[in-house]
Amino acid sequence: MSYRFLILRRVIQIGILALFFVGNFSWILIANQSFGVYQGDISSFVADHRNLAVGQSKDVPSLAHVLQGNLSNSKLFGVIPMSDPLMVAQLFLAGGALSLNVYIGLLVVLGLYGVFLGRAYCAYVCPINLVTDFASFLRRWLGSYAPNKQIQISRNAKYGVLLLSLVLSFVFGIAAFEMISPIGMFHRGVVFGMGAGFFGILLVFLFDLLWVKNGFCGHLCPLGAMYGLIGKYSIWRVGYDADKCSKCMRCVQICPENQVLHSVGKKSTIIDAMACIKCGRCIEVCADDALTFKITNPIKKEIK
């Protein structure tokens, strides 16, 4: 079994969190000396300097400007804005005033994920995927000893949660999902320090481990639903070649959204379901090389 995509995903996920962490450092100049401060907190210097004169240090490591902000609204290399489409939709419906940069960032994200990446955000960027993947790993490792208190929830429930989030944002004038989002809790916890949000993350982990396999990401997350809709016609897809397939079904067993592999063992096709997160696990476990990533025509599904 190969783990190349799993390793790539972890490097990207952890790397993004690390870059956000570094991006929240700033370097200031006091008495011609450079000091690093986090989140602009200079309280430790105030006590030692009665007349504090602070300047911006030119001695700033290049990594500090690679990724700044947070997962809702960020800047790449200090120039390219990126905005979370669900956050923008909620704030717009809530009546919030949004800057031009936010709308430009939205267009960047819509172009990137709508044309090319699809729902890959869930597998390569979202930090809560680290938690839910670990719960899924524990389920597989425990085997028959895994908790069996299953709750039946439709995988389409996430679209209902998405709609509810937008309606509540409009009615109450707040970004409804952002108030309880475990994605935001995890990101803020790593970048700014973990507080009560830890319990929200723990709840997601226990939900996935004890009650519903791939429960949060596969059944409830409105952000995943949003990216699925955005990437419905994206060109980066998984292709399946039935002629190479021995029908071992290991791909179906490992896939966190295994309903998208309904054609496996039947006919060659492009996996066009918008629920596919492009994690590559099906490709890694396939000993027949029957599955591979392809740049495709989103209208044409069958492989000739």
Averages of pLDDT over each 10 residues, the chain, 304 residues: 89 91 66 56 52 47 72 88 95 91 96 95 95 92 75 92 96 92 84 77 92 92 96 94 94 93 91 93 94 84 52
Is position 53 within any domain? yes
Separation CA 52–CA 31 (nearest Å): 9
Separation CA 220–CA 193 (nearest Å): 26
Q: Helices 100-111 & 85-93, crossing angle to 10 degrees? A: 140
73-76 vs 236-240, strand pairing mode: unpaired
Same structural domain, 150 and 280 = no
Structure confidence at residue 49 (pLDDT): 52
Same structural domain, 87 and 208 = yes
Q: How many domains does the chain have?
A: 3
Is position 82 within any domain? yes
- Which of 255, 167, 190, 184 lies closest to 221, judged by CA? 184
Structure confidence at residue 34 (pLDDT): 59
Structure confidence at residue 142 (pLDDT): 84
Structure confidence at residue 303 (pLDDT): 53
Same structural domain, 126 and 261 = no
Domain boundary among 9, 37, 69: 69
Is position 300 within any domain? no
67-69 vs 73-76, strand pairing mode: antiparallel
Separation CA 186–CA 195 (nearest Å): 10
- Which of 14, 15, 17, 44 lies closest to 28, judged by CA? 44
Is position 302 within any domain? no
Structure confidence at residue 20 (pLDDT): 84
Same structural domain, 65 and 78 = no
Separation CA 204–CA 170 (nearest Å): 26
- Which of 210, 286, 219, 220 lies closest to 250, judged by CA? 286
Same structural domain, 48 and 79 = no
Give me the domain span that covers residue 99: 72-234
Same structural domain, 89 and 151 = yes
Is position 166 within any domain? yes
Structure confidence at residue 293 (pLDDT): 96
Domain boundary among 53, 69, 85: 69
Same structural domain, 216 and 279 = no
Structure confidence at residue 304 (pLDDT): 46
Is position 301 within any domain? no
Same structural domain, 12 and 157 = no
